[in-house]
Amino acid sequence: MEKASKRRRVTIAIDGPSGAGKSTVAKSLAKRLGYLYIDTGAMYRSVALKAKEKGILSEDKLAIGQLASSLPITFITDGEHTRVLCDGEDVSEAIRTPEISRLASAISKQKELREILVQRQREMGKEGGIILEGRDIGTTVFPDAEVKFYLDAGGEERVKRRYREMRQKGFEVDLETTRKELMERDDHDMHRDHSPLKRAEDAIFIDSTHRSVKEVVEEMVRMVRAKVKK
């Protein structure tokens, strides 16, 4: 781990589509730098999970917003492992099911919900020393972040990564269904009315298609150090 206290602590934004490797890279980078890692997608997933448990329909914007405003969501990092606590419960695995992924995608297009969670994310990152990853971090949540990355990979490679991830977690999925759902998620994220996925003009583009996590993280560390020295 870096001795981060001896360096200026900045805000790092990592955006990109599903399957690009954002979460894995962000966790590893956070460990290297001694930063706090925030998975913004997990916040939408947590709201989706609790909405399902409470019987709140995804179309009920008022109820979804009220839930998001009062729902305690905390991230606990241990090495490269991050646990998500929602209302005191460890939901790290529960929010990763295909059903919750679809529900989170559906509610994430609601302007009211996005405004609530964006404000909470800004509060988390206002002191710096934080890495946030998602789809609108560098464009909406922290447009003034000192370091921005846009991580991407070839479409088929992202499909394979997502498929392997779901199989390793014990979900019975097939490659074609995974491909269909990922492409639908891409289309939704890039064309939603509020905070669509796009590369910030000042974001550093990194293609992870044929690169290991270690290689990507090493490049990011070099770039963060260069920014911090300025």
Least confident segment among 24-28, 79-83, 205-209, 215-219: 79-83
Average pLDDT score over residue span 54-81: 90
**pLDDT tens, 109-163?**
899 999 999 999 999 888 889 999 999 999 999 999 999 999 999 999 999 999 9
Burial of 76 (0-12, 13-18, 19+ CB in 10 A): exposed
pLDDT at 33: 92
Q: Yes or no: say if 173 and 98 are a contact pair by the CB < 8 Å rule.
A: yes
**pLDDT tens, 9-20?**
899 999 999 899
pLDDT at 4: 45
Task: Say which DSSP state 83 is in.
Answer: E
Task: Say which DSSP state 93 is in.
Answer: T
Residue 2 has pLDDT above 60, yes or no: no
Q: Where are the alpha helices (DSSP H) in 78-212?
A: 98-107, 111-125, 155-168, 175-191
**pLDDT tens, 155-187?**
999 999 999 988 888 888 899 999 998 998 888
Average pLDDT score over residue span 78-106: 89
- Name all domains of the chain by residue range, CATH numbers in brackets: 8-229 (3.40.50.300)
Q: Where are the alpha helices (DSSP H) in 55-87?
A: 61-70
| Distance between CA atoms of residues 27 and 38, nearest Å | 9
| pLDDT band at residue 196 under the 50/70/90 scheme | confident
Residue 108 has pLDDT above 60, yes or no: yes
| pLDDT band at residue 66 under the 50/70/90 scheme | very high
DSSP 114-130: HHHHHHHHHHHHTTS-E
